[in-house]
């Protein structure tokens, strides 16, 4: 209490102690004393406090206003543009000592903000309360858009609330461009025991917005103890015949179509990134842990993404990050269907077309990982069940990644176990610019969650298997592949084709169409897809295209199975034995098909 009285003025002291929670008070006091800020602001759910945060982000230079009301832009540092996998680690005694030494007096001269949020809908069995401490109003502003505020919930629960997640962040010293200066000391540490996240000397949202992927690590760890699932998944509603709506979740690595799938025209979106799944009355229900979208803006255009495009060009509270600001203060990003500017200002500073970096590579107008942050409520296709405390019943689960040469565009597994093992636990995808690593390399990424696991992979696979196998009728499991290439290296499908795959999956959930059984799963019949392409997209779907896209590639599938088995044998402890058995059975089915039909099997020959 002495520490809090020394740092808090009367109003902020009252706001904090209106919450009768000694654990919270000790947490705040500990990091006030360690970080030594110049002043402290306790943020409630009130509009006045939330507006104070927004204005503070503009005042300290982390954001600037744009022409449209509510819109701002933010730049991260040149070398702070993506998730830092190298320096994101689980806490050890040594790293705790290091992080505390970095945090020591790091906020001198800064204002510290304390804010309260809820992961999942409020007053729900899915809910996880959270407290964020940071000296970055940009971080709090982002979280106010992305998450449900929860000051009132903390007041109501009082000292009963003992299991909240805690987040400590500092951008550290900012340079003249108002970005983190000491990037060499960027650290992100995850303490699953105490359920605390530490992030310092970084501003990029994936590193600094603790409630995003960092909290997913904490949630996965908690879910493993409690028997539910925390997943890197969208949640969406797909409309079927007679106004039926079927809900799906889907796991895709970043920049692999996750947001664009959840935003398909004429369907409804509940979330594009993180889902919590629980069993309720013998069925799987899911919620969006968030209420907003931190989306990749590259490639967003009026033709392919009409709903997001419209939202981005109307007065809405939106933060654009790492885009190009033109001389007339317009926002431009790579892939925007307007004339490309020749000059402006971006994350690299003053930009002119043809600028090159130190390696001689041309600097694009916007960063490949440029983002937009908005509230889902601003979207015209937001699902009315977004804040339903019971969540929505899930009919199907989709797994997808960047796979140029192996998987067909859409396929259904034989069973829950077959799907978890061959679709989810065997997922591979080419890397993208969403992380600080070399791009274009096919990497093992089970459930699209490998970067965020806080429990052993073998245990995680086992948890997924047990979760669905305990149900009489679990959701169907599908795989999709939007990135299959022909021999010329061109994509075989258009961006809009995913709308057809969704409709086919919806019909399969309700057993309203049949499918072709192959050694790797069930694939669509040409007649069904031809009809759906006409109904959904208004265009012909030629049998030649179908044959090329759905040909079973046996050598590539066998090579993938061998890669996956080797990984689980040599790099994963406690792998469930059923995984090896299931993959071996699939391997034998493929070999038998090869012996009968050859290396490449046309879809009309495999049944």
**Has residue 76 been placed in a domain?**
no
Contact present, 524 and 504 (Cβ < 8 Å): yes
Whether 72 is in a domain gets the answer no
Query: 452 φ, ψ to 5°?
Result: -115, 5
* CATH classification of the domain holding 28: 3.40.449.10
pTM, two decimals, is 0.95
Check whether residue 8 and residue 153 sit in a common domain: yes
Q: Are residues 234 and 170 in the same domain?
A: no
Same-domain pairing of 429 and 489: yes
Indicate whether 190 belongs to any domain: yes
Decide: residue 20, CB within 10 A, 0-12 exposed, 13-18 middle, 19+ buried.
Answer: middle
Burial 540-574 (b: 16+ CB within 10 A, else e): ebeeebbeebbbbbbebbbebbeebbebbeeebee
Q: Is residue 418 part of a domain?
A: yes
End of a domain among 378, 401, 429?
Answer: 378
Claim to verify: residue 392 and residue 539 sit in the same structural domain = yes
The two tokens of residue 262 are 């959840």
Q: What is the pLDDT of residue 434?
A: 52
Low-confidence residues in the chain, pLDDT < 50: none
Q: What is the full DSSP assignment across 387-425?
A: T-TT-EEEEEEEEE---SSSS-SEEE-SSHHHHIIIIIT
**What is the rounded distance in angstroms from the CA atom of residue 406 to the CA atom of residue 559?**
9
Q: Is residue 73 one of the residues assigned to a domain? A: no
Q: For residue 23, is it within any domain?
A: yes
Q: What is the pLDDT of residues 432-459, one digit of tens each?
A: 655 555 566 789 999 999 999 999 999 9
Say whether both 590 and 538 belong to one domain: yes
Stated length of the chain:
607
Last residue of a domain, one of 204, 226, 248: 226
State how many domains the chain has. Answer: 3
Cβ-based burial of 8 (10 A; exposed 0-12, middle 13-18, buried ≥19): buried
Same domain as 193, residue 58: yes
pLDDT at 254: 80
Report whether 50 contacts 57 (CB < 8 A).
Answer: no
Q: Are residues 523 and 443 in the same domain?
A: yes
Based on the domain organization, do 287 and 299 belong to the same domain?
no
The residue annotated as part of the active site, out of 35, 43, 130, 256, is 256
Task: Record the tokens describing residue 463, joined without a space.
Answer: 């948890």
Could you tell me if residue 202 is inside a domain? yes
The reported pLDDT for the residue numbered 437 is: 55
Domain span at 298: 294-378
Residue 510 sits at the vertex; the CA angle it makes with 506 and 516, to the nearest 5 degrees, is 75
Q: Is 256 an annotated catalytic residue?
A: yes
Residues 184, 276 within the same domain: no
489 and 595 assigned to the same domain = yes
pLDDT digits (tens, 9 = 90+) for 160-197: 999 999 999 999 999 999 999 999 999 999 999 999 99
pLDDT of residue 13: 98
CATH number of the domain within which 364 lies: 2.170.8.10
Residues whose CB is less than 8 angstroms from the CB of residue 428 and which lie 6 or more positions away in sequence, other chains included: 401, 403, 442, 443, 444, 445, 560, 563, 564
Tell which of 318, 344, 378 closes a domain: 378
Whether residue 561 is found in the same domain as residue 576: yes
Q: Answer yes or no: is 606 within a domain.
A: no
pLDDT (0 to 100) of residue 430: 85
Cβ atoms 411, 520 nearer than 8 A = yes
Q: Do residue 434 and residue 569 come from a single domain? A: yes
Q: Say which CATH number the domain at 470 has.
A: 3.90.228.20
CB atoms within 10 A of CB 177: 13
């Amino acid at each position: 209490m002495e520490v809090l009285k020394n740092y808090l003025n009367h109003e902020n002291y009252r706001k904090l102690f209106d919450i009768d929670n000694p654990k919270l008070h000790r947490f705040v006091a500990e990091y006030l004393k360690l970080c030594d800020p110049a002043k402290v602001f306790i943020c409630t759910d009130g509009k006045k406090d939330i507006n104070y945060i927004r204005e503070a982000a503009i005042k300290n230079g982390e954001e600037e206003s744009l022409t449209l009301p509510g819109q701002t832009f933010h730049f991260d540092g040149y070398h702070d543009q993506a998730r830092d996998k190298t320096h994101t680690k689980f806490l050890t005694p040594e790293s705790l000592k290091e992080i505390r030494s970095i945090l020591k007096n790091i906020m001198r001269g800064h204002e510290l903000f304390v804010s309260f949020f809820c992961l999942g809908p409020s007053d729900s069995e899915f809910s996880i309360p959270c407290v964020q401490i940071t000296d970055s109003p940009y971080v709090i502003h982002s979280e106010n858009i992305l998450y449900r505020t929860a000051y009132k919930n903390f007041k109501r629960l009082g000292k009963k609330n003992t299991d909240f997640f805690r987040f400590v962040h500092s951008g550290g010293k900012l340079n003249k461009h108002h970005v983190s200066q000491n990037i060499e000391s960027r650290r992100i540490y995850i303490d699953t025991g105490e359920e605390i996240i530490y992030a310092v000397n970084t501003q990029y949202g994936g590193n600094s917005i603790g409630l995003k992927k960092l909290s997913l690590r904490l949630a996965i760890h908690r879910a493993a103890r409690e028997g539910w699932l925390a997943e890197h998944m969208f949640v969406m509603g797909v409309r079927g015949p007679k106004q039926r709506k079927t809900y799906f979740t889907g796991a895709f690595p970043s920049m692999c179509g996750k947001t664009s799938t959840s935003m398909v025209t004429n369907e409804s979106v509940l979330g594009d990134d993180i889902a919590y799944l629980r069993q309720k009355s013998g069925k799987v229900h899911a919620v969006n842990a968030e209420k907003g979208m931190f989306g990749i803006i590259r490639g967003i255009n009026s033709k392919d993404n009409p709903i997001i495009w419209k939202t981005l060009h109307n007065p809405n509270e939106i933060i654009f990050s790492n885009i190009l600001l033109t001389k007339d203060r317009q926002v431009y990003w790579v892939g925007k269907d307007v004339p490309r500017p020749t000059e402006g200002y971006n994350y690299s500073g003053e930009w002119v077309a043809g600028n090159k970096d130190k390696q001689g590579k041309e600097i694009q107008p916007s960063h490949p990982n440029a983002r937009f942050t908005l509230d889902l409520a601003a979207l015209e296709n937001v699902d009315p069940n977004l804040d339903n405390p019971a969540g929505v019943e899930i009919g199907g689960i989709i797994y997808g990644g960047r796979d140029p040469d192996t998987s067909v565009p859409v396929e259904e597994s034989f069973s829950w176990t077959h799907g978890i093992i061959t679709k989810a636990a065997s997922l591979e995808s080419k890397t993208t610019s969403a992380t600080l690593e070399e791009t274009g390399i096919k990497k093992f990424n089970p459930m699209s969650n490998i970067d965020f696991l806080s429990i052993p992979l073998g245990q995680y696979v086992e948890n997924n298997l047990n979760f669905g196998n305990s149900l009489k009728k679990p959701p169907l499991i599908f795989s999709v592949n939007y990135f299959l290439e022909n021999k010329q290296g061109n994509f075989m499908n258009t961006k809009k084709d995913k709308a057809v795959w969704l409709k086919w999956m919806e019909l399969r959930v309700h057993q309203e169409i049949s499918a072709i059984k192959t050694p790797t799963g069930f694939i669509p019949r040409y007649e069904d897809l031809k009809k759906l392409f006409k109904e959904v997209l208004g265009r012909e779907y030629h049998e030649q295209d179908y044959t090329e896209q759905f040909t079973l590639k046996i050598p590539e599938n066998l090579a993938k199975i061998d890669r996956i088995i080797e990984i689980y044998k040599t790099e994963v402890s406690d792998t469930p034995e059923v995984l090896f058995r299931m993959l071996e059975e699939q391997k034998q089915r493929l070999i038998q098909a090869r012996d009968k039909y050859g290396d490449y099997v046309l879809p009309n020959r495999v049944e």
